[in-house]
Amino acid sequence: MATIDGLPPLREVIRAHDLVAKKQLGQNFLLDLNLTAKIARAAGDLSGCDVLEVGPGPGGLTRGLLAEGARRVVAVEKDARALPALAEIAAACPGRLEVLHGDALELDLAAHLAAPFKIVANLPYNVGTELLIRWLTPEAWPPLWSSLTLMFQKEVAERIVAKPRTEHYGRLALLAQYRCEAKIVMTLPPEAFTPAPKVHSAVVQLTALPAPRYPCDFRTLQRITAMAFNQRRKMLRASLKGLRPDIEAVLQSVGIPPTARAEEIGLEGFCALARAVANPG
């Protein structure tokens, strides 16, 4: 990896290409190559593996992924200013880095990556949660990716791994934990970034399970959890009354008190409820 080691420091790259982070693009650059290498290592063994990176910016994490032995990195970057810096990394690693200029929300993953692949990214703050939900909700499961190692604002990370009856527990935790093993593997202070955000950040790792934890119709589960948590202060008999006229009886049939609130019910309970709602009688 001598060619990667020979690349200029990231601060020089930013100056050379006038890569001032833009707030409207949700950019906060991570310039410490020791930290980017640590994030790359948190994704596990990358040898023989394709990796998708979203929002590489000047390419700090990109360098880490390549140095850790990724077979191939596909980096999606919306900001055209970053393309020359990424081209320099691609030139140093012939055939191992493909840079796509565009919006990750519009990307057809199957067209650019060989499954199973990993997704590793310091996600732009403004699209991070939307991308995660898309990756968690494909039509078919297991998905094309095997794991997600993603940086979010710490509060979002805590929502992904939260348990029932805790402050951050909600629909995002249920969507993530229904099909994945989710854990926080690293936290970073604001001063690790340029510019420094106002909040701490955290890296979450989600490993795809071969099948969902509990059987149920996924669309029904999504509908129930959306209704329950959109009115999370209400009792479930009130927030879910639009599902079925006999919702109180349905709740009782799966052992959920109609007076319970959404944050009191775990994943297994919501899956049982989804089965009962989808299969009346």
Answer whether 206's CB lies under 8 Å from 147's CB: yes
Mean pLDDT, range 250-275, rounded to an integer: 98
CA 88 to each of CA 17, 83, 196: distance values in angstroms, whole numbers, following the listed order: 11, 9, 26
**Sequential DSSP letters for 100-136:** EES-GGG--GGGT-PSSEEEEEE--TTTHHHHHHHHH
Confidence of residue 26 (pLDDT cuts 50, 70, 90): low
Cα angle vertex 41, ends 36, 47, to 5°? 120
Q: What is the mean pLDDT of the chain?
A: 93
pLDDT category, 1, cuts 50, 70, 90?
Answer: very low
pLDDT bucket at 21, cuts 50 / 70 / 90:
low
- Spatial distance between the Cα atoms of 41 and 47, rounded to a whole number of angstroms: 11
- Distance, in Å, from the CA atom of 99 to the CA atom of 53, rounded to the nearest integer, reads 10
Q: Which two tokens stand for residue 112?
A: 């650019």
DSSP 235: B
User: Which of 173, 172, 176, 119 lies closest to 144 in space, CA to CA?
Assistant: 119
- Does the pLDDT value for residue 3 go beyond 70? no
Write down how long the chain is. 281
| pLDDT for res 2 | 39
How far is 171 from 143, CA to CA, in rounded Å?
20
64-84 per-position pLDDT tens digit: 999 999 999 999 999 999 999
Other CB atoms within a 10 A radius of the CB of residue 143 amount to 20
| β-bridge partners, 47 | 70
Q: pLDDT band for 29, please (50, 70, 90 cuts).
A: confident
Number of H helices, E strands in the chain: 12, 9
Give 145's pLDDT tier (boundaries 50, 70, 90): very high
Tell me, what's the pLDDT at 224? Answer: 98
State the DSSP code for 9: P
pLDDT digits (tens, 9 = 90+) for 45-57: 999 899 999 999 9
Tell me what the mean pLDDT of segment 93-109 comes to: 93
Q: What is the largest CA-CA distance in the chain?
A: 68
Cα 41 to Cα 38, 118, 227, 273, distances in angstroms? 5, 12, 39, 39
